[in-house]
Amino acid sequence: MGTFPNNFIWGAATAAYQIEGGSRIDGRGACIWDDFCDGPDNCVGATGEVACDHYHRLEEDIELMKQLGLKAYRLSASWSRVLPDGRGPVNQAGLDFYDRLVDGLKDAGIEPLVTAYHWDLPSTLQKELGGWAHADLPQIFADYASVLFDRLGDRVAYWLTINEPWCIVDGGYFHGIHAPGISDVPLGYRVGHNLLRGHAYAAARYRASINGTGQISLAINGGSRRPASDEVADVEAAERAMQNFAGWFADPAHYGDYPAVMRQRLGDLLPDFSTEDRLLLTGSMDYLALNYYTSDVIQSAPGNGAMELEVVAQPKLEHTEMDWPIVPQGLRRFLCWMSKRYPSLPVYVTENGAAMADVPDEAGYVDDQDRIAYLRDHLAAASDAVADGVDLRGYFAWTLMDNLEWSLGFSKRFGLIRCDFGTLKRTIKASGHWYANVIRAGGLEPTEIETGVVQ
Ligand code: IFM
């Protein structure tokens, strides 16, 4: 088993809507998740109005990051906190919050990685323009991102434009289970297209800006797609599934267009990029930012959808509270597949973690050995990928603290730190202490690797 390179960046990640709260104060405008969670059946009764109240507790939270020994922290900015209507005048109080956060992190020796858009579109843009379906959204997004680059870019060296465009389309536009709650497949592909254009425009603006000396990318969620058998049809179906999943967004952001198999099979559902858009997209990722939770097994299924495949259940594997099979070696395969298809880009795992059925003791302490096992086995798989030649430079655990898991409200806990949503008290879990040791040691102890399972 391999180890991790020197200067490996050990981090943890969060997102604005999931932790900040303070949704109606200091000039913040509403976002589509505020609206979505107002719908009685959408977020199991939860809203982001308070969440972890990070907006009022950022000093305390940075102190906790220091206790974990984090080298980096991935945060996202709330667009409607910075620009309440999505465009127009800047809300200085909102921008000041991120300025203080970045300063606090730098003072603590923690490298900030800032995501400009983690799903919380300003409501006004949804109501007035129809959100990301509108052809002008990419430019409006780039204008917003530039406000962040100008104000924070002197201290922030790592940027992500957009988090998980696949999830935005799949949850928000194919299945209607995420904001804005629409089920319209052709519209979803248009939205995906505009997300890619928005990423490209923002990346170009960053690189042209005075602060544009760092690295910028977009976070792609994915996993491996293993064939159910050695049959050629299954092997080809699994490869199609990979290209249709991670390749959907990574191919355009690296090569300037969708994978050929998507063009062939989806036809008119995929809009064309203009020549200018292709040029801006090509090479628009300075690094691969990969979010990983689980992997699928795929078999060929002639006639089943455009991709003619189906997912085979993996009942023998343990599942997390999200009902996602636990497949550590899928991370290794995913990292290898991505770095082969998009060579010469450094790789960061920008999210990885597990929702578990945490049971706190009376003091709020959680002895989450199941989460430790998940993280340990995934880190072992990541170190295998390093040994395979993947240029892996960092890993961000999802997530720093329990938070609002979107339409599942506060019912799913992924945190290294427990947040009591009644009192807002934070308590570092066993997994947080364990991760602090990993960071201190620069990797897993050999004895821990030996206990890892292989899937
Ligand atoms: O909580 C989410 C995060 O916002 C995006 N990636 C997946 C996580 C777990 O579902």
Average pLDDT along the chain, 455 residues, taken 10 residues at a time? 84 98 98 96 96 98 98 99 98 98 98 99 98 98 98 98 98 98 98 99 98 98 98 98 98 98 98 98 99 98 98 98 98 98 98 98 98 98 98 98 98 98 98 98 82 51
Q: Rounded to 5 degrees, what are φ and ψ at 160?
A: -125, 135
| Cα 405 to averaged position of ligand 1 atoms, centre (Å) | 7
Q: What is the DSSP string of 293-355?
A: ---EEEEE-TTSTTTTEEEEP-TTS-B-TT--B--HHHHHHHHHHHHHHSTT--EEEEEE---
Mutational test site, ligand 1, from 405, 410, 413, max ligand atoms within 8 Å of CB: 405
Residue 73: CB within 6 Å of ligand 1?
A: no
* CATH of region 9-449: 3.20.20.80
Identify the pLDDT of residue 226.
98
User: How crowded is residue 36: how many other Cβ atoms within 10 Å of its Cβ?
Assistant: 23
Q: How many CB atoms lie within 10 A of CB 38?
A: 11
Catalytic residues: 164, 351
Q: What pLDDT score does 446 carry?
A: 78
Q: Which residue has the tokens 């982001």?
A: 48
- Cis omega (within 30 of 0) on the bond before 350? no
| CB distance 351 to ligand 1 below 6 Å | yes
Adjacent-strand bridge partners of 173: none
- Quote the crossing angle between the two packed helices 185-208 and 137-152, to the nearest 10°: 40
Q: Looking at ligand 1, which residue's alpha carbon is closest to its atom 10?
A: 405
Helices (H), 153-231: 165-169, 185-208
Query: Which atom of ligand 1 lies at the shortest distance from residue 118's CA?
Result: 4
Cis geometry, peptide bond prior to residue 112 (ω within 30 degrees of 0): no
Q: At what angle do helices 92-107 and 137-152 cross, to 10 degrees?
A: 50
The predicted-structure confidence for 94-120, as pLDDT tens digits, reads as follows 999 999 999 999 999 999 999 999 999
The protein residue with its alpha carbon nearest to ligand 1, atom 4, reads: 15
CA dist., res. 364 & res. 423, Å (int):
11
Q: What's the CA-to-centroid distance between 163 and ligand 1, angstroms?
A: 9
Give the closest residue to 75 by CA, choosing from 133, 155, 177, 176: 155
Sign, CA torsion 355/356/359/364: negative
> What ligand 1 atom has the least distance to the C-alpha of 119?
4
Q: Ligand 1 in contact with 398 (CB < 6 A)? A: yes
Q: What pLDDT score was predicted for residue 451?
A: 55
Q: Ligand 1 pocket, 377 CB below 6 A?
A: no
Angle between helices 430-441 and 369-387 (to 10 degrees): 30
For ligand 1, is residue 352 a contact (CB within 6 Å)? no
Q: Indicate if ligand 1 lies below 6 Å from the C-beta of 15.
A: yes
Query: Which of 14, 164, 249 to mutate to test ligand 1, by most ligand atoms within 8 A of the CB atom?
Result: 164
pLDDT at 173: 98
Distance CA 412, CA 159 (A): 27
pLDDT of residue 3: 85
Summarised one tens digit per residue, pLDDT across range 65-82 is: 999 999 999 999 999 999
Task: Choose one of 74, 321, 398 to mutate for the ligand 1 pocket test, by most ligand atoms within 8 angstroms of C-beta.
Answer: 398
Q: Are 284 and 263 in contact (CB under 8 A)?
A: no
User: By alpha-carbon position, which residue is closest to atom 2 of ligand 1?
Assistant: 405
Ligand 1 atom at minimum distance from 414 CA: 9
User: Which atom of ligand 1 lies nearest, measured to the CA of 355?
Assistant: 9
Q: How far is the CA of 129 from the centre of ligand 1 (A)?
A: 26
45 SS3 class? coil
Distance CA 195, CA 179 (A): 15
- CB 350 less than 6 A from any atom of ligand 1: no
Give residue 45's pLDDT: 95
277 Cβ inside 6 Å of ligand 1: no
Q: What does the domain layout of the chain look like in residue ranges?
A: 9-449
Q: Which atom of ligand 1 is nearest to the CA of 221?
A: 6
Q: Which pLDDT does position 1 carry in this prediction?
A: 40
Task: Tell me the one-letter amino acid at 186.
Answer: P
Centre of ligand 1 from the C-alpha of residue 208, in Å: 31
Report the distance separating Cα 165 and Cα 284, nearest Å: 15
| Ligand 1 pocket, residue 291 CB under 6 Å | yes
Nearest-angstrom CA–CA distance, 139 and 109: 34
